[in-house]
A and B are shown apart, each in its own frame.
Chain A
Amino acid sequence: MSSPRSDFLSGVRVAAPITLGVFPFGMIAGVAAVGVGIPAVQTLAMSVVIFAGASQLAAIELIGRNAPAAVVVLTVLVINLRHVMYSASLAPHFRRQSARWKGLLAYLLVDQVYALSILEFENDEETSRRWYYLGVATPLWLTWQTATVVGIIFGARTPEGWHLEFAVPLVFLAVLVPAVTDRATAAAALVGGAVAVVAAGLPYNLGLIVAAVVGIGAGLAVERATGVSTDGAAGEAE
């Protein structure tokens, strides 16, 4: 039978291998931030306060280009919109938690925590929602913060010519490729990428946001045209 302790530990066991992939990602966040001149304290604060890798890297890049502060925040908003989907998906499982627990669980809600937790919740009615989720989230949170600190230290000491800044698009690429699962997501990626190149000269560095919106539109258009969806949601929509 499950107990809080055993549920927490089985969460930790599932998350452990994932931390290996999270570490380099967090390190890059530290290296990149130091590279554009963000002080160490603020770099670590980003990892603690925002705690969302892709959006942190995008924010760092825009800060490096001196985009307006509002555009930086708006970009973080767009990139993290997917968290609404995770929040909705987990909501029924957390319905009986207190407001305080809901507040803590929501703070820790990142891609990997969502993916691992929902899998377990859908397979096992008995597992403690709170403790399993905390078991998954705790090692990932600790890894992310540690990796950022290592990146800050490392980034301050690496010579030019190592092309460390190139690690940022590579990390995005590593996350992007698995996100392309069908024709509609491929269209969103192709159009989003192309528009970003064309719109690079837009004022206030708004190119990224315009590209994202047009790319999402392209994905929806292709989905409607082909009538295919990975989860069959399109068929029952209208």
Chain B
Amino acid sequence: MAPTTFDDATLWVVILAAGVVTYALRLSFIALFGRLDDVPESVERALRFVPAAVLSALVVPQLVVADGAVSLSPTNPRLLAGALAAAVAWRTENILATLVVGMGAMLLLSAALG
């Protein structure tokens, strides 16, 4: 991948802004609504789906898109290694085990599929 064209100043602005936003989310109820025991029901229900929707949106394109096109063929090493890693994640719920198996499969498959 070509190095980013973000310059130092832009990077600092992005890091600080992302940090402030994240901190504000964490501080929100602790600081302002400490007297309420509860988030609005509708908000809580929507937030429940954030991890699944966002993480999947991050993962799936990286597994199924190869050279700019969707590739669901068995010659796509990312797809196979990803499927294997997903199975390990499901059985173990362990980040390290998922990483080791997924990376190992990726190395072997990309060597084999050359």
Seen from chain A, the residues whose Cβ lies within 8 Å of a Cβ on chain B are 20-21, 24-25, 28, 35-39, 42, 45-46, 49-52, 54-55, 57-59, 61, 63-64, 66, 69, 72-73, 76-92, 94-95, 99, 102-103, 105-107, 109, 162-163, 165-180, 184-186, 188-197, 200, 207-208, 211-216, 218-220, 223, 229, 233-234, 236-237
Residue numbers in A under 8 Å from B110 (CB-CB): 163
Nearest B residue to A53 by beta-carbon distance? B95
What is the number of contacts between chain A and chain B, taking CB atoms within 8 Å? 300
A163 to B53, Cβ gap below 8 A? no
B90 to A177, Cβ gap below 8 A? yes
A-B contact list, 17 entries, CB within 8 Å:
A21-B94, A21-B96, A39-B11, A45-B15, A64-B1, A76-B21, A83-B22, A85-B48, A87-B25, A91-B30, A168-B62, A169-B82, A174-B95, A185-B52, A193-B61, A208-B54, A219-B49
Residue numbers in A under 8 Å from B58 (CB-CB): 54, 57-58, 61, 169, 172, 196, 208
CA distance A84 to B24 in the complex (A): 9
Smallest beta-carbon distance A237→chain B, Å: 5
Residue numbers in A under 8 Å from B98 (CB-CB): 170-171, 173-174
- Give which listed residue, B12, B15, B50, B102, contacts A166 with CB less than 8 A: B102
Smallest beta-carbon distance A184→chain B, Å: 7
Smallest beta-carbon distance B83→chain A, Å: 10
Knowing A42-B11, A87-B27, A176-B56, say if A216 contacts B18 (CB, 8 Å). no
CA distance A190 to B55 in the complex (A): 11
A171 to B56, Cβ gap below 8 A? no
Smallest beta-carbon distance B54→chain A, Å: 5
CA distance A86 to B34 in the complex (A): 12
Knowing A37-B4, A88-B29, A174-B89, say if A69 contacts B39 (CB, 8 Å). no
Smallest beta-carbon distance B4→chain A, Å: 5
B46 at the interface (CB under 8 A from A): yes
Contact code string B55-78 (vs A, CB < 8 Å = 1, else 0) = 111111111110000100000001
Knowing A77-B21, A194-B60, A215-B56, say if A173 contacts B85 (CB, 8 Å). yes
Contact residues, B1-34 vs A (CB, 8 A): 1, 3-6, 8, 10-19, 21-23, 25-31, 33-34
Nearest B residue to A110 by beta-carbon distance? B26
Nearest A residue to B60 by beta-carbon distance? A193
A73 to B103, Cβ gap below 8 A? no
In the A-B complex, the 9 residue pairs with the smallest Cβ-Cβ separation, listed nearest first, are A215-B53, A37-B3, A193-B60, A219-B49, A49-B19, A192-B53, A211-B57, A196-B57, A176-B55
CA distance A57 to B95 in the complex (A): 15
Seen from chain B, the residues whose Cβ lies within 8 Å of a Cβ on chain A are 1, 3-6, 8, 10-19, 21-23, 25-31, 33-39, 41-65, 70, 78, 81-82, 85-86, 89-90, 93-96, 98-99, 102-103, 106-107, 110
Knowing A35-B1, A87-B25, say if A106 contacts B99 (CB, 8 Å). no
Residue numbers in A under 8 Å from B89 (CB-CB): 173-174, 176-178
Nearest A residue to B12 by beta-carbon distance? A42
Residue numbers in A under 8 Å from B93 (CB-CB): 174, 177-178
A106 to B27, Cβ gap below 8 A? yes
Nearest B residue to A74 by beta-carbon distance? B21
CA distance A55 to B39 in the complex (A): 23
